[in-house]
Amino acid sequence: MMCCMNLSDLPEGCLSHILSLTSPSDVLRSSAVSKQFLSASLSDNVWEKFLPSDCDHIISQSSTPLDHQNFATKKDLFFHLCRSPILFNNNTQSFGLDKWSGKRCYMLGARTLKIAWIDNSQYWTWQTELESRFPEVAELQSVCWLDIKGTIHTKLLSSNTTYGAYFVFKKIDNYSNGFLYTPVKTYVLEIDEQGSLPGDDNDNHGVIVNRFYLEASEDTSLLRRLEELPVERDDGWMEIEMGRCDVKATTDQTMVLEMKLEEIEHLNWKQGIVVQGIELRPLN
């Protein structure tokens, strides 16, 4: 007859393996139930499993060196990457971890985005924003042709994960009603390295185009549905979900994720937003 055994009675190596197959949130709940559940060495082994296998390489690419010696445990390092994403590629991109799942999170700063007319100060200017994750942000002066695109290789993302792509911005004093009456369109799709869509020419590739108004209205005739409006983030910035992408274990490692926001139909003049970037994070 089989008897019931407490998890804490299992050999440390066995328990470590079991916990590593769960998630960070599961481990936190387990350790909260029993304060003696995880020894220091066992805890370190478990949390190391939640760090990316190439974590040392990623950290070595950081624009600001991150010393492992500053972290007493792997758990400390894990939560540091959750709270404080590291910057790389000359402070234009960031890498972090999702605290619930341990999945990879990336953000493409405005400097890495392809923005139409970005080199003309009549339309866009580069500014320093203390509340931004990145040293520079792009401030929209005035354009009628709004076209912003970001790309990232899917191999950088966590497999078997659904990601949401979020356009992160804020409004400033010279914000105009060009966004009030005109929605922007967004989409997220996978392309190959040559910029072509895979599949048959007659295939619509399952591309879903979303539309958003970057400004709400007090005019009852212009009331928008909540899903068409941006939401405020914990850091004070605004965001809209541009679209989603399923990254499977079988996803072609050469594929590129393209994320685009545009308003190129009405051609009315728009101004007064600051672009921080596009963030990719797993959907919980």
For position 33, what pLDDT does the model report? 45
Residues 109, 176 within the same domain = yes
Do 69 and 200 lie in one domain? The reply is: no
Tell me which of 50, 84, 118 is where a domain ends. Answer: 84
Give domain status of residue 93, yes or no. Answer: no
Q: Which residue has the higher pLDDT, 274 or 205?
A: 274
Q: What is the CATH number of the domain that holds 251?
A: 2.60.120.260
CA atoms within 13 A on the CB side of 57: 4
Residue 67 sits in the same domain as residue 181: no
The residues with which 147 forms a beta bridge, in sequence order, are: 262
Domain-located, residue 134: yes
Tell me the C-alpha distance between 127 and 106, whole Å.
22
| pLDDT over 60 at 43, yes or no | yes
Domain that holds residue 56: 11-84
The mean per-residue pLDDT over the stretch 127-146 comes to: 94
Q: What's the total number of domains in the chain?
A: 2
> Is 272 found in the same domain as 177?
yes
Reported as half-sphere exposure (CB side, CA atoms, 13 A), residue 131 has a value of 11
Task: Give the lowest-confidence range in 69-78, 131-140, 208-217, 218-227.
Answer: 218-227
Say if 94 falls within a structural domain: no
* Residue 8 in this model has a pLDDT that exceeds 70: no
pLDDT for 163-178, tens place per residue?
999 999 998 876 666 8
Residues 168 and 273 in one domain: yes
Same domain, 137 and 269: yes
In 3D, which of 230, 192, 194, 180 has the Cα closest to residue 210?
A: 230
Residue 190 in domain: yes
Structural domain includes residue 176? yes
From first CA to last CA, the distance across the chain in angstroms is: 40
Question: Model confidence over 181-208: pLDDT tens digits?
Answer: 889 999 999 988 776 776 545 455 567 8
**Is residue 145 located within the same domain as residue 24?**
no
| Position 3 confidence tier, pLDDT thresholds 50, 70, 90 | low
Domain stop point among 84, 115, 142 = 84
Confidence of residue 13 (pLDDT cuts 50, 70, 90): low
Regarding whether 142 and 28 lie in a shared domain, the answer is no
Average pLDDT over residues 123-129: 94
> 228 and 113, same structural domain?
yes
Is 53 in the same domain as 146? Answer: no
Q: Order of strands, edge to edge, in the sheet holding 184-191?
A: 114-115, 146-153, 256-263, 184-191, 210-212
Mean pLDDT of the chain: 84
Q: Do residues 65 and 115 both lie within one domain?
A: no
Q: Which pLDDT score, from 0 to 100, does residue 202 have?
A: 45
